[in-house]
Structure 1
Amino acid sequence: MPLLRSIEDLASIERSLHLAIGVFDGVHRGHQAVIQAARESADESGGVACVVTFDPHPVRVLAPTYAPRLLTATEHKVRLLNELGIEHVAILTFDLAFAETSAETFVRELHRASHSLARICVGEDWRFGSGGRGDVALLERLGAELGFAVTGVPTVSVDGMTASSTRIREAVAGGDFAIAEALLGRPYTVLGTVIQGRHLGRELGFPTANLTVHSEQLPPTGVYAVRVSLESGEKFPAVANLGYRPSIEGETARRLLEVHLLDWQGNLYDCDLEVEFVEFLRPERKFAGLEALKSQIVQDAERTREVLA
């Protein structure tokens, strides 16, 4: 389904509407609980579940200095929502004008645009509207007036850890993929688009795909065993280098993500790849020459096959 880009676009959905609203960065277990509440409500009544989210992240507009590094940029977020069975996603532009909208006005606009607003589902501690004055209590008051139900979904905890985007960012930054996976409810992945490189990997006998990564929160620099999902859905083992390629680029490089797929050949330019980080193999380091680098890549590939076997 095409993305909805405004509140008014909700009018294109003719059946009863069951909204899950939030930023949903990472689409973690807590977010999934909110989305599942909307889906179950829609299924029970023959309605439609729709996720309403925001771009850019509100903190990036309200307090740019404190803006978090995103786990999932919009394109990746939409893909994950689709995998959860959500076909309708409304992405509202969050700018200063939108930030000044009162919570009550926002809700009334949602109601006015919808053919039949049946339910709004949010996290029980979610705040919204100008000054963050909107909460579940306000939703319930307006729901009683306007005729829609409200579900405030409790915080989700896993092994005593709260499922939150902040906690997952900390885990990813520390390279703790086990905690990230536990809180995400799926393996930690990033989405990236393959761009033209210098073809040095191919010259070395190890063709690599250079990625421009949509996510902002990445693991520590190093070499990793990863799984790569192609647009076709096929998955392949791969060695990923996240770093500066000091043996190639010298000391003035920028941080890059490049992956060497072990059992695949072909052209991936302009394709979107989803990269699942599985295990840290070694730190990135500068080699004395290209032969030493090639020897290490062979070892990395062998170790990756062992890890992913």
Structure 2
Amino acid sequence: MKITKNLNGYHSESPLSLSIGIFDGVHIGHQSIIKKLNTIAAKKNLQSAILTFWPHPRTVFNPNDDLKFLNTIEEKTYLLEKNGIQHLFLKEFDEEFRNLTGEEFVKQILVEKLNVKHLIIGHDHTFGKNRSGDFNLLQKMSSEFGFEVEQVEAVDFQSRHISSTQIRNALTEGNVKEANEMLGYVYSVSGEVIHGKKIGRTIGYPTANIAVNSMKLLPKKGAYIVDVFVNSQHFKGMLSIGTNPTVDGNSLSVEVYILDFNEDIYGKEISVNFREFLHDEIKFESLEKLIERLDEDQRITENFQF
């Protein structure tokens, strides 16, 4: 997949089958658009492409909005490439760009720079200053500039349209199974293993503290059954998101106890996949009670079928 970050002076030599959007999560709704993009590209001898924006427009319009994302930019890039996209345009959502009208966006970006011949947009997609661009505008301009446009309907899950917001809500409620169904894959976080307070090792449950990207959405505080990927190997794990209230912790941490594992991995990158929510964060009355619960969580994790 070819990645282009600067559109200044750019012109695509290849005619494109393109879709526009944030694509946070690259969920099954996004995947249906991508599948159609790739099918049309193959049929019409075009290249499949995505135009997306970084940072998220909401952070530009509402800089105080503490929006967290389902994907880091690296994860999104990986998922788009995995789904067969040939070109990724990462456009900075700057002041100049946000002031383009819908008509200017179509002419200057889609036609002159990206050489779009087939455009697919989501059911509720708008663009341009004051949301002046929509499907109706694209239909009017398509014949003038020689491209085709189609709008796809949302994919439903449990009688609701699948959206990145729906998935974020599921994760913040601890509904990781529901989130995974809407994503079409298992939600994950990754990061470097850093030093923590090392309390876990004193009670027989040494944990790896993961430094997660600050822009990445963490599921609800609590305990989870996870897959752990470290040193190109796969293990079961018990992961905790919280402040360690039993030992009077006050800062949020992401810690994973890796079953059947005893290696020094400080400074190494690990990844965890969220499989099942075990329970909310609990402040135990003693370390003994905490250990009892960890023993029970381990028994459940060992018996969990991935």
SS at match of 1:36: helix
Please give the secondary structure, in 1, of the residue aligned with 2:126.
Answer: coil
Q: Match for residue 212 of structure 2? A: 213
Unaligned runs of 5+ in 1: none
Residue matched to 2:62: 63
Between the aligned partners of 1:269 and 1:20, the Cα distance in structure 2 is: 41
**Which position in structure 2 is the counterpart of 1:192?**
190
Is the aligned partner of 1:171 residue 2:170?
yes
**Paired AA for residue 176 in structure 2:** F
Partner amino acid for 1:299?
E
Match of 1:227 in 2: 227
Deviations 1:178-229 (A, max 9, x none): 3322322223x13221242136145555443222323543322111111134
Q: How much has 1:266 moved relative to structure 2?
A: 4.1
> Retained in 2: the 8 A contact 1:237–1:308?
no
Partner of 1:35, secondary structure, is helix
Query: Which position in structure 2 is the counterpart of 1:182?
Result: 181
Q: Which amino acid aligns with 2:179?
A: A
- Specify the code of the residue in structure 2 equivalent to 1:192: S
1:278 corresponds to:
275
- Going from structure 1 to structure 2, the CA distance change for 1:19 and 1:173 (only over 3 Å counts) comes to same
* Shift of residue 243, structure 1, vs aligned partner: 0.4
Q: Name the TM-score, length of structure 2 as normaliser.
A: 0.86
Q: TM-score, normalised by structure 1?
A: 0.86
Distance 1:231 1:103 in 2: 48
Residues 228-251 of structure 1 show CA distances to partners (whole Å, capped at 9, x for unaligned) of 34584x532111010012344x24
C-alpha separation in 2, matches of 1:198 and 1:243: 13
Percent identity at matched positions? 32
Match of 1:143 in 2: 142
Aligned length: 303
Deviations 1:129-161 (A, max 9, x none): 111111112222222122122121111112312
User: How many angstroms does 1:58 deviate by?
Assistant: 0.9
Distance 1:293 1:58, change over 3 A: same
Check if 1:260 corresponds to 2:272: no
Cα offset, 1:263, TM superposition: 3.8
In 2 relative to 1, CA 294–8 (structure 1 residues): closer, same or farther, beyond 3 Å?
Answer: same
> Counterpart in 1 of 2:298?
301
Change in CA separation of 1:126 and 1:260 when aligned onto 2, cut-off 3 Å: same
Residue identity opposite 1:307 in structure 2 = F
In structure 2, what is the Cα distance between the partners aligned to 1:10 and 1:275? 39
More moved, 120-129 vs 57-66: 57-66
Higher alpha-carbon deviation: 166-175 or 210-219: 210-219
Cα 1:97–1:263 change in 2 (3 A) is farther
